[in-house]
Amino acid sequence: MYTRRGFIKLAVGAGLAITVGPTFVRWIGKSFQLPGSAEYAANNANTLLPDPVPLADSSPPIGGGAEGNFRVYTVTDIPAFDNSNWSFTINGLVDKTFTWNWEEFVRLQREVQVSDFHCVTGWSVYKNTWEGLPLYKLLDMAGVQNKASTVKFYSGDGVYTDSLTLAQARMEDMMVAVMHDGQPIPNQLGGPVRLITPQMYAYKSVKWLNRIELIEEDHVGYWEQRGYDKDAWVPGANRV
Ligand SMILES: Nc1nc2c(c(=O)[nH]1)N[C@H]1C(S)=C(S)[C@@H](COP(=O)(O)O)O[C@H]1N2
Ligand SMILES: [Mo]
């Protein structure tokens, strides 16, 4: 269990400055009222089959489900995926490259975490039950080569990217998430697969994640190129 709510409330309450970069993002004016499986289905244009079957800890979600509303952020049109146009790749400086199709990907062993989600612009969603693949396990499957120092994440929108250092990527709560509160993640919220970085601001949480590449050099992500801080840690994070 990871909770950061206390820290953020404290930081906001104490009037501490939270660095905010340029705030031009396309917010499509929608916020998700949580929880609600009907709303998830209504906002999911993905048609990937089979549906992932939630683990017992996801359904019902631990602690009753997320509190707060996601705002749908995107810098592109919102993509939608089906079995024919979705795959997930891990490649670059790895011993073994993988490309999974959806049927294969949903068979990989998932785990469950509960964590808070913070946008650096000042909104949060608390107590999210995420189910997915611990990032460090994917890295271990692929076998990271010694030369690699950066983990680069690509979105299926073709535009958005971000990165973590290898040490950050190996934190146990970094997750390649497939379900939220026991439901498939709708495409508006980055489904079928998004990165979850509970101890960092959500601009690290790449939506429509479909490729992980191990690289030698640094990579400056989409919002960091536009002024967001390279240091995305939320207050109280276990910085590595
Ligand atoms: N592909 C992609 N991923 C993205 C973004 C985006 O614009 N495109 N915005 C980021 C930011 S700044 C935030 S706060 C979260 C918002 O997630 P949500 O749209 O599910 O609320 O997604 C992050 N991941
Ligand atoms: Mo954000």
Proportion of the chain above pLDDT 90, given as a percent:
82
Cross-strand bridge partners of residue 151: 164, 214
Task: State the closest ligand 1 atom to the C-alpha of 201, by its place in the atom list counted from 1.
Answer: 14
Please state whether 63 falls in left (phi above 0), alpha (psi between -120 and 50) or beta.
Answer: left
For residue 6, pLDDT beyond 70: no
Looking at residue 87, what DSSP letter applies? Answer: -
* pLDDT digit string, tens, across residues 186-240: 999 999 999 999 999 999 999 999 999 999 999 999 999 999 999 999 999 999 9
Which residues lie closer than 8 Å to 177 by C-beta, 6 or more apart?
130, 131, 132, 185, 193, 194, 195, 196
What's the 159 CA to ligand 1 centre distance in angstroms?
12
> Phi and psi dihedrals of 122, rounded to 5?
115, 5
Q: Where are the alpha helices (DSSP H) in 31-179?
A: 37-42, 102-105, 135-142, 166-169
The mean pLDDT of 27-49, rounded to a whole number, is 78
What's the 64 CA to ligand 1 centre distance in angstroms?
24
**pLDDT recorded at residue 18:** 41
pLDDT tier at 35, thresholds 50, 70, 90: low
**Omega before residue 60 within 30° of 0, cis:** yes
Name the token pair of 214: 């191990």
pLDDT tier at 108, thresholds 50, 70, 90: very high
What is the number of other CB atoms lying within 10 angstroms of the CB of residue 55? 15
For residue 152, pLDDT beyond 60: yes
- The full DSSP string for 145-182 is -TT--EEEEEETTSS-EEEEEHHHHTSTT-EEEEEETT
Residue identifier of the C-alpha nearest atom 11 of ligand 1: 203
Ligand at minimal distance from the CA of 30 is 1
What is the number of other CB atoms lying within 10 angstroms of the CB of residue 86? 21
**From CA 187, how far away is CA 208, in angstroms rounded?**
8
Residue 50 amino acid letter: P
Provide the residues around ligand 2 (an ion) whose CB is within 5 A. 119, 202-203
Higher pLDDT, 36 or 17: 36
> CB–CB of 130/113 below 8 Å?
yes
Q: Are strands 175-180 and 194-196 parallel, antiparallel or unpaired?
A: antiparallel
Name the token pair of 234: 């939320």
pTM: 0.89
For residue 34, pLDDT beyond 80: no
Name the token pair of 187: 């495409």
What's the 144 CA to ligand 2 centre distance in angstroms?
29
